[in-house]
Amino acid sequence: MTTSIIIESINYDGELANILFRPSNTELVLNLGDQVLPFEFDASLLSPPRNVYGTYTIFVYDGECLNFLNVPEPTPTATPTRTPTRTPTPTPTTTPTPTPTSDPCPPQPTPTKTPTPTRTQTPTPTPTPSVTRTPCYTPTSTATATPTPTPTPVYFAYLFIEPVDGFSEIGQWMLNGGSNFFGFSNASQPSQNQTDFNSDMNRYVNFTGWTNGQFPQIIKQTVPQTSGGEDSFDNAILAYNFLTTKVSKNYVGGNAWYTWIIPVSLTNNQRQIMIDLNTSNGPNLLTAVSTETTINTYTFTYSGSTLPPTVYRVYTTYPNTIFKITDSQNIYFRGNTIAP
């Protein structure tokens, strides 16, 4: 069983990349975190230990597209099948020395049944024995098809920033979709009915303003799947909690609601019940803030194109206005605690 592999690229040597690994014959996706290429991955250190066979999705932060690496499990090689050839009839000879006879091995079709070769003896007028050549065989090789890897979506934690002065645009969009949730800037929240919550949040994430420049661009952040080390802001890396995230001063240019939307698979199927926050340019002076349980209790299965389709939860402080922030200084968020 192979447990170690080196992931490298001559195009991205020395670059930082986020790597996801889906082991063969499973639906499990493991986030191997941010790694500098080349990266030696030892699958035996996983819990439980695994081998390296499966699909790797590699997102190079300075690149423009995803890269996929498929490591198929070894395919056994078929055992060659012995194929008999006819036995030549020895030619009588008058010489006192044995005369070998030979018969070239003609190409043979692949048999459906392999008979046992039989030595044929023909009387000769002399007592001198004749040598019969041993039948040869034609090996049959089997081609092994290389499977085409299926691209694996790369998931992140996503920060949606809804400007308060954009209340009319988001409100009209939600109203046109038949929703009773008109955005946090319109003093409303998603339904507390699971079916309606799913509909409300799909409509909200599909708002065209997130992708056409009308609202601030969505910010994405890595969610590590193991603890250990420090992130780029010297804060401890905690499994299933997103890394320290900076929102630069005047990114919005005013007051806005900040909402985190995170795949449940990245939080180990639990909830991000607390998020660290600093609104005064202090990445290491963070305060833990509880997220609203009447919202993070529910999930929605996204089916649009703004985010990768999967199951998400929504994290905000609404109706508490802690996450309603004016970006007059740099703002910092960080995942703090997850719980069932």
C-alpha to C-alpha distances, 272 to 81, 192, 219, 222, 306, nearest whole angstrom: 60, 18, 17, 14, 22
> Omega before 100 cis (within 30°)?
no
Amino acid identity of 285?
Answer: L
Rounded-to-integer distance, Cα 169 and Cα 128, Å: 107
> How confident is the prediction along the chain (340 residues), in pLDDT tens digits per residue?
688 889 988 888 888 888 888 888 887 788 888 888 899 989 888 888 888 888 888 888 877 667 878 888 887 655 555 544 454 444 444 434 444 444 443 444 444 444 444 444 444 444 444 444 444 444 444 455 556 565 677 899 999 999 999 999 999 999 999 999 999 999 999 999 999 999 999 999 999 999 999 999 999 999 999 999 999 999 999 999 999 999 999 999 999 999 999 999 999 999 999 999 999 999 999 999 999 999 999 999 999 999 999 999 999 999 999 999 999 999 999 999 999 9
Rounded-to-integer distance, Cα 285 and Cα 238, Å: 17
| Model-wide pTM > 0.75 | no
Per-domain residue ranges of the chain: 4-71, 157-339
Rounded-to-integer distance, Cα 331 and Cα 228, Å: 24
